Every structure is written in structure tokens, then in C-alpha cells.
Amino acid sequence: MYRKILPGMERKQHIPLVLVTGFLGSGKTTLVKYLLGNVDPDLRIGIVQNEYASANIDTSELHSVDRKFDVLEVNQGSVFCVCILGSFIDSLAEFTDHYSPDLIIIEASGLSDPIAIAEILQHGKLVDRVYLSAVWCIVDGQNYHKVSKMNTRVERQVMIADRILLNKSDLMEDHRDALLQALKTLNPEAEIIITTYCQVPLQVLLEPVNEPLALLKDTQHRKYEPRGRAEISTVVLRTSRCIEPTGLDAFIREVEGKLIRLKGFVLLAGQKVVSIQSEFGRTRMIEVDYYHGNTELVGLGWDISPADFGRRFHDIRKSREQHVP
């Protein structure tokens, strides 16, 4: 456990804010869960959960951790996109006033361009409430080279990071040295930590940052125009009916290769619930006991048809006309 006041976070008149970035499926929620499960339970933590789609899958994942925390959910876009930025600033100000957390963690959408984070936190409604304590970027060591269509967003996530967690190191093949060099070229000042499942000793992860790079380089970064809404398709699939495991397996095999990211929970016949996590066709299904809602899946990808995915899901749903009691 970590002590009540974290190192470098003693300015009680303002609330320290840590920004967690990283592309889809890199391990951001895994890191936040790890923190929630290991820091002092008396530390009041506020989580800003930013989902690109209109679903709250990651919030449900966080609630698998046995501790209290407060959540501000921001859906249907990146908190850094002008399309929702105004309402996000208002919501964050209200959130800090209502809950008075000791620490705020923003888990940004994997599609976010956070280059303007320093400027945003200087807004009149936030400058006297919060301060940027650190930026952590999670890099998917297995799939980093597959996100060429989102290069600008991913590179800017790396550029402003104080610590880069090169995650999934166990799945990296022969490109590890090249990836390390690419990250150092983008951000030579950041500390790079090689990890698996975002397991980093807290004393390393929470080592005080004298001045976040996003603040030090704010003037330099203002020359970049923040990217708007990402050109990517999303599909949200929901049902209250149980799904046959064989039908689910067939559906996953059919769609996983067409999606960048698939995640959610599925109620199976026999009252079992599985968590589904998939990135670039690599899918894991794990039975869980902490989720009690209906089936909900979120898929993101390029050039996909949400209508086609919906019809295919409807087909497997009809294969078992059994309502959840």
C-alpha cells in the first residue's frame, strides 16, 4: 500500500491529476485497476473514464477492484476533442467540487490527441482546482506498428509522457530494440519502463516528477493543431438474452480480424458471464463474477459496417431464445 499523500502531491489547495494515455487495448484500464488495488485505501481517488463509444465497459472492469472510488464517465468522444471539450471542463470542475478527491486519474480514450492537456488545465474553471502531476503513456509493444492510420494521435501521446510503459513485453518478437529507439526519438526525456500487464513497482511509477513535460513544452506544443474526432467506426451490441457459447465463438472468429478493438461482457447460457478483450484479432475470454448487467460489446475498427455487425450478432442471439431471469 502507498501512503496517504503521494510523493510530489502535497499541494493540498489543488488536486493532483495524472493523465493516462495509450492506444486502444494497450493496457490503460489494467494499469488503473492495478493502482486502485494497491494504493492506500484511505486515499480518495477520482477516476475520469473516457470511452469513445456510448458504453461504459471499462468502468465495469474497474468495479472488479474491491475498493471505493468515484467515477466521472465521459462517453462518445475524446475529452480533448473540441466536440465535447466545453462540457468536459464543466463536468470535471463539478466533479472535483462534489467529491474532493486526493488524486484524479484521467484514463483517456485510446483515440485521443492529448497535446493540449496543459492548455486545457489552465482554463479558468480548472486552474484553481487541479494541477497536472504526471502523464503516463502505455505503449502496446505487440501492436504499436499496426496503428499507422492513427500515427499522429499515438505519437502525441508518447511526446507528452513523463513515463512510457512499454507493455506486453512478453509478446514482443524481434522488434523490441527498434521500438525502443522509435520511442526515444519521439520523446528522449521520458523514462521508459518495460512491463507486462502494466505491473510496475508503485515506488517507481509514482516517483515524483519535478515538472511534467506537457507543462515544460507547452509553448512548443501549441504549434500543433489538436486532432478532432477520429475517423473510425464504432458498434455497440446489447441484449438481455443469454448466448450459446458455440454461437459466441463463431461470432468472435468471424469479426475479430476486422476490428482493432472488441471488449465487453456476454451472458452465456447457464448463467455464466465472460469478459471479452480483443486487440487486432487476439482475443481473450475469461469467466467473471463481478459483472451483473446485460450483454454489452463494443467494437472499433476501420471501414466496418455497424449494421452488418448488428445483424450477425442478432443471428447468434436468436439461436438461444432464453431471457435472463
- Condensed to tens digits (0 to 9), the pLDDT of residues 101-152 reads 999 999 999 989 999 899 899 999 999 999 999 999 999 999 998 886 778 9
Alpha helices by DSSP H, listed for 73-229, are 82-99, 117-121, 151-159, 176-186, 202-205, 213-216, 218-221
Residues 6+ apart with CB under 8 A from 203: none
- Condensed to tens digits (0 to 9), the pLDDT of residues 252-287 reads 999 998 999 999 999 998 889 999 999 999 999 999
Is the pLDDT at 100 greater than 50, yes or no? yes
Indicate the pLDDT class of residue 201, thresholds 50, 70 and 90.
very high
| Percent of the chain residues topping a pLDDT of 70 | 92
Tell me which of 76-85, 114-123, 163-172 is least confident. Answer: 76-85
The pLDDT assigned to 98 comes to: 96
Got the DSSP string for 99-114? H--SEEEEE--TT---
Identify the architecture of domain 233-318 in CATH.
Answer: 2-Layer Sandwich (3.30)
Reduced to 3 states (helix: H, G, I; strand: E, B; else coil), residue 50 is strand
CA dihedral of 287, 36, 82, 26, whole degrees rounded to 10: -50
Look-up of cell digits 468472435: 252
| DSSP single-letter state for residue 280 | T
Domain boundaries of the chain, sorted by first residue: 15-221, 233-318
The CATH number of domain 15-221, selected from 3.10.20.30, 3.40.50.300, 3.30.1360.10, 3.30.1360.120: 3.40.50.300
- Condensed to tens digits (0 to 9), the pLDDT of residues 29-75 reads 999 999 999 999 999 999 999 987 767 899 999 999 999 999 999 88
Tell me which of 108-117, 163-172, 230-239 is least confident. Answer: 230-239
Tell me which of 116-125, 162-171, 267-276, 315-324 is least confident. Answer: 315-324
Contact 261, 230 (CB under 8 A): no
The stretch 314-321 carries a mean pLDDT of 66
The pLDDT assigned to 145 comes to: 87
The pLDDT assigned to 323 comes to: 44
pTM: 0.91
The pLDDT assigned to 150 comes to: 77
